[in-house]
Structure 1
Amino acid sequence: MKEQTFKSGFIAIIGRPNVGKSTLLNRFVGQKIAIMSDKAQTTRNRIQGVYTDETAQIVFIDTPGIHKPKHALGDFMLKTTYSALQGVDGVLVVVNASEPIGPGDRLVIERAASTKVPVFLLINKIDLVSHEDLLPIIESYRQEYDFDEIYPISATEGDNVPELLEGIKGILQEGPKYYPADQVMDHPEYFVVAEFIREKILLLTREEIPHSVAVQVERMQRNEDGKIEIQATIIVERKSQKGIIIGAQGKMIKKIGQLARRDIEHLLDDKVYLDLWVKVQNNWRERQSQLMDLGYRPDDY
């Protein structure tokens, strides 16, 4: 009997902001590595998630949503997305089933079409629409582009995700394991810890703190009590935003810390002591040097 060959490859996940790309990445790898928020442009850096089973290793590249940039950070996010499409073996275009096709979706499809690799359309959030509405939605996207495959999915519920994984394996070539079988991401823990803290800020402050917030992990080491001690700085653009994040009697920053610590402990499988500070850096999103200091380095992508 012929031995089954092991396959591997790189798959980019693209789509306009807030269509569920990060939720899908977390679903693929079986745990939370990308932050999830209902605010647009949550993902800033290109995050690689790794799925491995007995037959294949798929390296998924989650990207910031494709949008019109308004500042230096926005430019960086867009360049990151476009660079993710270079050298991949396939592209997953994610759209929202509960919203009609818009100019943003068409731009994403156009970008994916230029890659000359298989392009799968994932119609996400099918749990939000009725079965009768699904066929017309699929048909409307068929008119836009001749996709290699179309999968209606729910990243939240996991509907059709196993079938999608099998479909992806079908387009991969024989290849090596790029990462150890138990590794699910390529970013260091510092990066993911900072992202978890930023997620809680977006979750708890809603519209009050937009994307003018960054998190820098200063230190991460085990203390004499055996806990992992993490010191992190939350960077905002205005003094008023600092007040919002700290909150009355420090209640908001305490809540941010509690929620973030829960996710970090789950990630590290260890007890964590989290110390948060807030610092104002005026217009940091416009300054290339500050973007570099905060980890947004174009050369890394």
Structure 2
Amino acid sequence: EVDLILYLIDATREPGKEEEAIAELLSKDIHRIVVAINKIDDPEARPLLIEEFIIPRLRGAKRVSISAVEKTNLESLIEVLFSLAPEGPFWYPEDIYTDQEPVFRIGELVREKAILNTYQELPHAIAVEYRESSKRADGVLFARFDILVERDSQKAIVIGRQGSIIKRIREEAEADLKELFDYPIKLQLQVRVDPDWRRSDSALSRIIF
């Protein structure tokens, strides 16, 4: 049982047995299907051929031609999906949009910025550990996190020349946190080498992945 089906089909590939089988399977419930014809930016794309294949087999299904790479018509696709998706029940009060603790969300954002700024050198070798936080009388929350790496060479990469990378991580995280919280957040970030953090149960229990 599903609320909605998004069928992504390649416009550069002529429909064959695989597409026939999928269309046959989906034809039983066309009113909950959106067909996204992808790769229309490719010179080899033949979206009209895909349309000719889809229309008689999934008559009534919504169709949107897109380019995921160029982001063409993605907003239109989202609008179609939202228009067809049923509204679910409220599981939380309207003013609550997450059940995650603030420090967890802050730590996740710090790790995201650390990975984005070092992904070429350290794609999966970074974790974040919460240390402490305190809120001042003026409403500013100060939060301290350790960025964990496994080797000294990785620590140097995260810190960057004259601290340039870790400064960028902090500034980008603080900028995004302004959009998430209704009070200012200031971060203190340190890089710590822990060769065994991936293999230590006690360390893993404290770490934000």
- Please classify the TM superposition score into its range, dividing by the shorter chain length: 0.5 to 0.7
Aligned 8 A contact 1:122 1:153 in 2: no
In the TM superposition, 1:121-132 aligns within 5 A as 123=36, 132=45
Question: Following TM superposition, by how much is the alpha carbon of 1:166 offset from its aligned partner in structure 2, in angstroms?
Answer: 2.0
Per the alignment, residue 156 of structure 2 pairs with 243
Q: Give the SS at the match of 2:119.
A: helix
Q: What are the ranges of 5 or more consecutive residues in structure 2 without an aligned counterpart? A: 14-21, 55-60
Q: Provide Cα deviations, 1:118-143, integer angstroms capped at 9, x if missing partner.
A: 986774976855795445678999xx
2:159 is matched by which residue type in structure 1?
A: I
In the TM superposition, 1:74-223 aligns within 5 A as 89-90=2-3, 123=36, 132-134=45-47, 157-169=74-86, 176-223=89-136
In the TM superposition, 1:30-49 aligns within 5 A as none
Q: CA RMSD in A?
A: 4.1
Aligned 8 A contact 2:158 2:166 in 1: yes
Percent identity of equivalent pairs? 30
The higher-RCO structure (CA 8 Å, 6+ apart) is 1
Q: Give the SS at the match of 1:207.
A: coil
Q: Provide Cα deviations, 1:87-121, integer angstroms capped at 9, x if missing partner.
A: x8547668696998xxxxxxxx9xxx9xxxx9867
2:85 is matched by which residue type in structure 1?
A: I
1-side partners of 2:134 and 2:7: how far apart? 38
* Change in 2 beyond 3 A, CA 1:139/1:260: farther
Question: Following TM superposition, by how much is the alpha carbon of 1:189 offset from its aligned partner in structure 2, in angstroms?
Answer: 2.4
1-side partners of 2:131 and 2:52: how far apart? 50
Q: Provide Cα deviations, 1:200-249, integer angstroms capped at 9, x if missing partner.
A: 12222231111111112333332244312111111112211111111122
Higher-Rg member (1/2) = 2
2-side partners of 1:234 and 1:131: how far apart? 45
Q: Give the SS at the match of 1:160.
A: helix
Q: Give the SS at the match of 1:284.
A: coil
1-side partners of 2:84 and 2:147: how far apart? 41
2-side partners of 1:280 and 1:139: how far apart? 58
* Change in 2 beyond 3 A, CA 1:181/1:153: farther
1-side partners of 2:52 and 2:199: how far apart? 42
Q: What are the ranges of 5 or more consecutive residues in structure 1 without an aligned counterpart? A: 1-87, 101-108, 142-147, 297-301
* Change in 2 beyond 3 A, CA 1:97/1:132: closer
Q: Pick from 262, 284, 291: which aligns with 2:204? A: 291
1:247 is matched by which residue type in structure 2?
A: G
Aligned 8 A contact 1:212 1:285 in 2: no
Mapped pair 1:275 → 2:199: no
1:227 is matched by which residue type in structure 2?
A: V
* Change in 2 beyond 3 A, CA 1:195/1:97: farther
Question: Following TM superposition, by how much is the alpha carbon of 1:190 offset from its aligned partner in structure 2, in angstroms?
Answer: 2.1
* Change in 2 beyond 3 A, CA 1:160/1:237: same
2:192 is matched by which residue type in structure 1?
A: K
